[in-house]
Amino acid sequence: MADLSLTRELVTTADTKIVLLVMDGLGGLPREPGGLTELEFAKTPNLDKLARESMIGLSIPISNGVAPGSGPGHLALFGYDPVKALIGRGVLESVGIGLELTPDDVAARGNFCTVDDKLLITDRRAGRIPTEKCIELVNLLKPIKLPGVEIIVEAVQDYRFALIFRGKSLSDRLTETDPQKTGLAPLPVKALDPEASLTADLANAWIANAREVLKDKRPANMVTLRGWAKEPGLPKFADLYKLRSAAIAVYPMYKGLASLAGMTLVQGLHNLDEEVEALKTHWANYDFFFFHFKYADSRGEDGNFEAKAAEIEKVDAILPRVLELKPDVLIVTGDHSTPAVWKAHSWHPVPTLLYAPGLTRRNDVSGFGETECLRGALGQFQATDLMPMALAYARRMNKFGA
């Protein structure tokens, strides 16, 4: 695995551009033995042509057999050790909506839910209330005050919100309150360490106040809290890689992950077309672009093989517009596999393409897909090796040793 301190030592600057195009959940599985995966089934003439001019291979996000969440999957792509750099969902949700965290903060992801009069949960997502309703309810929660701590609460999307406690001696060693099924009551927050008991008390007090505010509302008359986490303090792309980096993403979580890596977030993007336009608009101002596309994963989680292939085709269609910008290095990969037949993130290695004109070896491959990647020049490699490779192919790494 790449050694981050070695990369940091060797990295230098150059007038080159790197694009990391992440199709979330790209890797797939065939529907029948010997069949094609989603990527292989999709009509991807642009990716296939590019694969023949690039080096392809398979990225192992964490290790064989380990299916990563979005956090570890992206951290590995960004070059961080995904096992050491654990980031809780609370931090992801918070930074994803543009909240800046301090080392004094503990963040949680909140869900609005529905409880009956015995306080048993009847809907863990409160009927998936729309974002406008979420904002309205969050505004009612904002006045809640507790001694010795600043409280920040902001709507995220649908039934989700972010909660931050800011104060001295707070800990994220807390249990979650979502019982993960209906018919059960929300759990109390418990301290996992003695030092976390103050924070647990604050959390339980906040929940009691929130219930009081919400008790007559329908369908969202209660909250659950999970993903307690502190800001992880990752080294930032500017220091670590000497890169001016920008994140082009629609979804809050991926913007959040990028912000933890120190990338500038391009705001206000709603779809793939706007993402490509943003890449063009900001091309001159950054060296590195993290370009995230969500829907391959979403349709994989839905179990919809053909819809996932169709999403991959949409990315294929915008590829010429990316190549027009003449990136020195273009990597196309995923943060993990989300096979439609599995309907969830999986542990399968992820098809990866590295385009770097003039510096790549020949693949004898016909196109971009899981089976062709087995024969590609990149072989199977750790996802954490991608950033050092991107930097090397972008002429941004010095020689190691005399």
Q: Interaction with a second copy in 50-69: which residues (CB under 8 A)?
A: 52-53, 58, 62-69
Shortest distance (Å) from residue 300 CB to a second copy: 13
- Is residue 181 within the footprint of a second copy (CB under 8 A)? no
- Is residue 303 within the footprint of a second copy (CB under 8 A)? no
Per CB under 8 A, the list member of 18, 47, 72, 133 interacting with a second copy is 72
Closest to a second copy by CB, 124 or 133? 124
Pairing of strands 288-293, 160-166: unpaired
Binding mask 373-402 for a second copy (x = CB under 8 A): -xxxx-xxxx--x-xxxxxxx---xxxxxx
- Is residue 366 within the footprint of a second copy (CB under 8 A)? no
Closest to a second copy by CB, 168 or 362? 362
Whole-number CA gyration radius for the chain: 22
Q: Is cis: bond before 219, omega within 30 of 0? A: yes
Measure the CA dihedral 308/309/314/319, to 10°.
Answer: 120
Tokens of 394: 């972008």
- Tell me how many residues contact a second copy (CB under 8 A): 74
Name the one range near a second copy by CB under 8 A: 177-185, 204-212, 308-316, 372-380. 372-380
- Is residue 327 within the footprint of a second copy (CB under 8 A)? no
- Is residue 7 within the footprint of a second copy (CB under 8 A)? yes
Which ranges in 234-326 belong to alpha helices (H)? 237-241, 252-260, 272-282, 295-302, 305-323
Residues belonging to the chain = 402
Which ranges in 155-236 belong to alpha helices (H)? 197-214
Q: Which contiguous run of DSSP H or E holds residue 157?
A: strand 150-157
The 8-class DSSP code of residue 186 comes to P
Distance separating alpha carbons of residues 76 and 335, to the nearest angstrom: 8
- Among 116, 153, 144, which residue's Cα sits nearest to residue 206? 144
Helix axis angle, 197-214 relative to 131-141, nearest 10°?
Answer: 110
Binding mask 102-141 for a second copy (x = CB under 8 A): ----------------------------------------
- Is residue 256 within the footprint of a second copy (CB under 8 A)? no
Per CB under 8 A, the list member of 8, 16, 30, 175 interacting with a second copy is 30
Shortest distance (Å) from residue 166 CB to a second copy: 22
Per CB under 8 A, the list member of 38, 41, 88, 219 interacting with a second copy is 88
Closest to a second copy by CB, 76 or 266? 76
Closest to a second copy by CB, 34 or 194? 34
Rule CB under 8 A: which of 329-358 touch a second copy? 341-342, 344-348, 357-358
For residue 331, give the 3-state DSSP assignment.
Answer: strand
Closest to a second copy by CB, 5 or 267? 5
Tokens of 106: 């503990």
- Is residue 359 within the footprint of a second copy (CB under 8 A)? yes
Within 8 A by CB and 6+ apart from 139, the residues are none
Rule CB under 8 A: which of 223-252 touch a second copy? 227
